[in-house]
Structure 1
């Protein structure tokens, strides 16, 4: 069975809006590129899929845009080629190495987890909340940024039940950010 990992950048006060945290730097982008390489597929909601596609899809020319730094390209290449399952009831089609997912979310994700492989990743805000409520997330991976925003959407706001976690990995960054990886404890599962 392959695990489902929820991965996201978050500020110290829990804000998970991508524009309110720290801009990516070379070290954090290298970290996310390495993590993306470990994923068999991504599970994304409509909003996150659209946002990621607009930023990281390779242009039809095959050339990355001029605004993209050399140190951002490994992440762009990794996410561009990774298979994506897009959960949406409003999209009619997806075409960025993707398959549209509809119907019973819990059943679908359980089936995807049963397939062999390294693991699945989920990002965003709304879909991970639904998956956490269903008890389907096997690891929570937060890149905690040394920023207080005092506003914006917060991580897993509206979670129905408390989930106890145990720390399984930690990595400190020169920027002051910390990557923390947690697993639900057996009492939470």
Structure 2
């Protein structure tokens, strides 16, 4: 059985994007970017909702060819292209970059994928991750909190049907007061 990880950058007040899908608050330090790269290199399958897919696919397919791209950005772009991806959406009809589109029941497909053998999977995007959390599929949460309050936007957690008990696995501080808290689901 594969491990399923939900992790993203978020504001101190719990949003992954400010109003208007503004991500201007989330620029990572070199150290944090390297940490995210190290995490992504261990992932065997990325799962995205439509919004995050559109954001990622608008940048990472060619980010390694941009002037001034750092070695870490080049490696992240290459890894992103090479890693298999699944996009869950009923509103788009085409995906590319080593990606498969699923238009049906997201929780059922994530359950099927989790039951396979293989490297860990990452779910990203609040709506899609919310379905995984409610289905009891998430094994680990990587919460990277930035010291900013935005007052609204897209929350990291959507409404839950029941409590999810967690155990703290790791904490780490990054430049600029950014804090990682990593939790494992207690089963």
Fold agreement, TM-score > 0.5: yes
**TM-fit CA distance, 1:64:** 1.2
The yes-or-no answer on 1:170 pairing with 2:171 is yes
State the partner residue of 1:37.
41
Structure with more helix by fraction: 2
**TM-fit CA distance, 1:34:** 0.5
**TM-fit CA distance, 1:67:** 5.7
State the partner residue of 1:2.
2
Going from structure 1 to structure 2, the CA distance change for 1:146 and 1:153 (only over 3 Å counts) comes to same
The yes-or-no answer on 1:27 pairing with 2:24 is no
State the partner residue of 2:98.
97
Going from structure 1 to structure 2, the CA distance change for 1:64 and 1:153 (only over 3 Å counts) comes to same
Structure with more strand by fraction: 2
The yes-or-no answer on 1:48 pairing with 2:48 is no
Q: Give the Cα separation in 2 of the matches to 1:109 and 1:151.
A: 29
State the partner residue of 1:106.
107
Q: Give the Cα separation in 2 of the matches to 1:20 and 1:149.
A: 11
Query: How many residues are paired up?
Result: 183
**TM-fit CA distance, 1:104:** 2.6
Q: Name the stretch that deviates more: 15-24 or 177-186.
A: 15-24
Q: What secondary structure is seen at the aligned counterpart in 2 of 1:68? A: coil
Query: Quick check: 1:43–1:85 contact (8 Å CA) kept in 2?
Result: yes
Listed one character per residue, the Cα deviations across residues 23-77 of structure 1 (whole Å, up to 9, x for unaligned) are 1221111011101001001011111111100011137xxx611263444222222
Going from structure 1 to structure 2, the CA distance change for 1:95 and 1:139 (only over 3 Å counts) comes to same
Query: Quick check: 1:6–1:128 contact (8 Å CA) kept in 2?
Result: yes
User: What are the within-5 Å matches in structure 2 for residues 29-178 of structure 1?
Assistant: 29-58=33-62, 64-66=65-67, 68-178=69-179
Q: What secondary structure is seen at the aligned counterpart in 1 of 2:65? A: coil
Q: Name the stretch that deviates more: 37-46 or 10-19.
A: 10-19
Query: Quick check: 2:45–2:119 contact (8 Å CA) kept in 1?
Result: no
Listed one character per residue, the Cα deviations across residues 128-159 of structure 1 (whole Å, up to 9, x for unaligned) are 11111111111111111122222222221323
